[in-house]
Amino acid sequence: MKLPNVNPRELRRLIEENLQGSTASFDPECAWLVGLSAEHAAHLRSLMPPAPTAAAVLVPIVERDEELTLLFTERASHLKNHAGQISFPGGKMEAHDGSPMEAALRETEEEIGLGREFVTVVGYLPPHMILTGYCVAPVVGFVRPGFELKLDPTEVTAAFEVPLLHVLDSANHRQRERTLGGISVHVYDIPYGDRNVWGATAGIVMSLYRLIAEPLHTQGTARESK
């Protein structure tokens, strides 16, 4: 579904409206199991730890003058898990974190130096299971400009922004099949320049797409019919 043209203010309003009342969850029936048969979902779930490690990421939507962008990071190449992958800033919840929001904001400050005073959290997307045993709560926040990033080189090698409408345009979603535990599942790649958003990060982006694509499409159709 290709999204109609929409200005940044309207897009923010739509995101806030559709996330209103959302709560963080670590339900093991994570978003990436949605759409599978009950048998396949149960099989994949059986491959995961019975008690996944709780983690949280910030989905940072930067409010630039001309457009909204998504802020991504590129993980350091020496990390044990997910080295070199494109991701959102975040990590596992620590005992002193009072909530997934606190964990996401803390990790974001530690990884890329984005202070929480620049972030307005507006809601949560469905949780995502990662094959390394984490169940991730995506925390959606709007980021006002004026921040200066300071990357922690032990965690992150780069940070970059991608226009939100680019990642939400279905023309940029590359579906492919992946075999997990002997079961074929559909996953997505979202290329941008010489980078490729894939794995759990692409899954989180697709959750955001599903959240607002239908309302945007409906609004665009209504405007065209007038």
* Domain positions in the chain: 8-216
Query: Are 144 and 63 contacting, i.e. CB atoms less than 8 angstroms apart?
Result: yes
Per-residue model confidence (pLDDT) at position 101:
97
Q: Find the DSSP H helices in the chain.
A: 8-19, 38-46, 100-112, 164-167, 199-225
Selected from 1.10.357.10, 3.90.79.10, 1.10.10.10, 3.90.550.10, the CATH number assigned to the domain covering 8-216 reads 3.90.79.10
Task: Tell me the pLDDT of the chain (226 aa) as tens digits.
Answer: 566 677 899 999 999 999 999 998 876 555 555 556 677 777 777 777 777 889 999 999 999 989 999 999 998 755 555 556 899 999 999 999 999 999 999 999 999 999 999 999 999 998 888 877 888 999 999 999 999 999 998 889 999 999 999 999 999 999 888 777 677 777 889 999 999 998 889 989 999 998 888 677 665 544 444 4
Return the axis-axis angle of helices 8-19 and 199-225, rounded to nearest 10°. Answer: 110
Per-residue model confidence (pLDDT) at position 4:
63
Query: Are 90 and 124 contacting, i.e. CB atoms less than 8 angstroms apart?
Result: no
Q: Global pTM?
A: 0.88
Q: Which residues pair with 105 in a beta bridge?
A: none
Query: Are 174 and 159 contacting, i.e. CB atoms less than 8 angstroms apart?
Result: no
| Spatial CB neighbours of 200, under 8 Å, sequence gap ≥ 6 | 32, 87, 128, 129, 130, 136
Two structure tokens written together for 110: 């530690």
